[in-house]
Structure 1
């Protein structure tokens, strides 16, 4: 079957689909992944065809990531961010149209691409499935992940969930109209397209684990949680020799990285991380990420802190004593999979949701909101969290228990089985 996966955004929005695509290829399908140029090498080394999406994932996104404004944004900032997001989406629509051809037989869509992909599926007369990385269907169990962690009660949570859908519908309105005109389709709003999809009932397969989010009982049929899709890496891949040497030189270090968050704040965050690591008397691995996390030359010359670039979490995290990160969905799951405690530092969008989930299950310390890292005693607060994460055996025990449950899940295999049923 000729399958196109369309995913847009930061590394965490795209990388899980490389593992999924590789599994579908193993099942005999012809798979292309449409995404941004930055991820072309990863897509190709995973054995898939790369199809370009032109939009810049850093444009219109606070700190380079997330689905909405940063928590501290003013009303004026929010309007500016929404305008940038709308421009990003309009450019994305053009790329999606170019990436889909009349030979495509199935579209698999991320949260960002789904509102536009439905029109492409209509134009080509092919099925399309939503494959989100976080729960976005309204439920009474919790408010939408992008709205924060506060519950408004069952009625309120569902109401906010429906409202969030309407906000997304408005955000995609111009891009959807332009795309449907290009495809010679009759006018239809994103809301209409979403409701048609809900009524038709194609499978919605969520790429996260019930270890963190049990399936809400009030979800309708067809909404399934299948387990994580892990970013692809070569089976023979190993850690860089510099990392292996560092690990061998002392006790397990703490990982600190903020992924695609905090662009331009690398020097400040690096200094803060070094101060916290030394006050907690633990070694550290700093991942530069989009922030450009870095330390001074004097720090790089010591043997207690190592700065690295991109290294697969699946290879690195099992060697850590704890992991400090922004709590994107994939990174949060990767920490659990490695059976190590987390110190969550959520920035925006769904990150506070995942941070709260980790803390509630006991596999993480209490979250430290990213904005609090600018406070006067931030290094002391982070150092205290590092001490608790590395010294309290309960955190590691809870993480180890979760890792055992994750190990028996096969999210990519579940999608492959669903595709097999479609073609039977």
Structure 2
């Protein structure tokens, strides 16, 4: 079967699909990933086909920060969404596709194009994206569901807002393909849906419909032929395990400020640190600090004493897989949700919201994560459970049945 995975956004929105794609490929399927141009090397380096979708998410985040009004932000977002929509239509119309696997963000677009061209669509979502009474969905923006009804209401509002990002573009695509205006094409119209997170980290809600599952994590594939930089290997060997500090695709343009903050925290905590530059272009200096670029988390994290991260879904998963304590510093979107979950699971002392981050607070949290053995013990226990799970298996079984249900 020829599968096309559709995703949009930052590296964290793409990397897990390299692992899922490789597993599908190993099972005999032909797999391509439709994503932004900046990820062509990541996808191709993992041996998967690549189809380009317009858009520069890093530039979009930078433009949002510079925008002078809400209207300007909305105009920037509409332009981005329209570019993604046109790109999705073009890459699917290009042929050679038997089934579409879509991330939650572009799901309305995949639904519209799949409906028009008669191609089944399967949801492959990285965060919980179907309302439940058991908890408020990520991206709730401070809304609180005090009871099951409240959680469901919050969840429906989260989904409505998320679908609205591509809603206008999806309507335009339906018109382009001659579909009825009232034809449902939102992400909630995609069935079945597989969530790429571990049920041992977030149990599948009992009130989810039967066509919604929590499959398990889809681990990013390591690029073919990758070798760790010699400088990093030497640093790891020259002392005790360091703390990893990175904020992924967050904090664009704040590298200098963060660098000073991180260096101060490392010195206060008396630890060694590997600092990943990310989109913030973070570059901290110190005798016990090594700055690095992209390094596969599955290789690096098990060699660290703790992981300070922005609590994005993928980095959260990688730290749990490594079995080391976490210090979550959530910035936006689903990150506060995962940060809270890490604390509830007992693998993190507390969450440090990015807006309130100081060198003192970060140093204290790092120290707490390392000096209380319960965090490392609980992290190791979870890692052992996660290692037994196969997140790709349910999706492989679905494809063996012919695709969408």
Normalised by the length of structure 2, the TM-score is 0.94
Counterpart check, 1:36 vs 2:30: no
Q: d(CA) in 1 for partners of 2:356 and 2:99?
A: 44
Mark the runs of 5 or more structure 2 residues left unpaired by the alignment: none
Does the CA-based 8 Å contact 1:363-1:396 persist in structure 2?
A: yes
Q: d(CA) in 2 for partners of 1:367 and 1:266?
A: 21
Deviation at 1:176, TM superposition (A): 1.2
Q: 2:402 aligns to what SS in structure 1?
A: helix
**Aligned position for 2:24:** 24
**Aligned position for 2:98:** 105
Bigger Cα displacement from structure 2, 25-34 vs 231-240 = 231-240
Q: d(CA) in 2 for partners of 1:415 and 1:337?
A: 21
1:297-320 Cα distance to aligned partner (Å, 9 max, x none): xx3xx2x11000000000000000
**Aligned position for 1:333:** 317
Does the CA-based 8 Å contact 2:46-2:224 persist in structure 1?
A: no
Normalised by the length of structure 1, the TM-score is 0.90
Q: 2:101 aligns to what SS in structure 1?
A: strand
Counterpart check, 1:420 vs 2:400: yes
1:230-279 Cα distance to aligned partner (Å, 9 max, x none): 11104764422111100000000000000000011111101111111111
Counterpart check, 1:352 vs 2:336: yes
1:56-99 Cα distance to aligned partner (Å, 9 max, x none): 112544x69xxxx99xx99x865543432222111100000111
Q: d(CA) in 1 for partners of 2:193 and 2:396?
A: 13
Any residues of structure 2 matched to 1:361-380 within 5 Å, and which? 361-373=345-357, 378-380=358-360
Say which of 219, 224, 228 aligns to 2:217: 228
Counterpart check, 1:87 vs 2:71: no
Q: d(CA) in 2 for partners of 1:325 and 1:194?
A: 32
**Aligned position for 2:137:** 144
**Aligned position for 2:273:** 284
Q: d(CA) in 1 for partners of 2:263 and 2:154?
A: 40
After superposition, the Cα gap between the structure-2 partners of 1:214 and 1:82, relative to the gap in structure 1 and judged at 3 Å, is farther
**Aligned position for 1:184:** 178
Say which of 203, 211, 216 aligns to 1:214: 203
Q: 1:314 aligns to what SS in structure 2?
A: helix
Q: d(CA) in 1 for partners of 2:223 and 2:162?
A: 36
Deviation at 1:383, TM superposition (A): 0.6
Q: d(CA) in 1 for partners of 2:382 and 2:78?
A: 38
1:205-245 Cα distance to aligned partner (Å, 9 max, x none): 00011122111111111100000111110476442211110
Q: d(CA) in 1 for partners of 2:111 and 2:380?
A: 40
Say which of 183, 186, 189 aligns to 1:194: 186
Any residues of structure 2 matched to 1:47-126 within 5 Å, and which? 47-61=47-61, 80-100=72-92, 101-126=94-119
Q: 1:145 aligns to what SS in structure 2?
A: coil
Q: d(CA) in 1 for partners of 2:403 and 2:161?
A: 35
Q: 1:229 aligns to what SS in structure 2?
A: coil
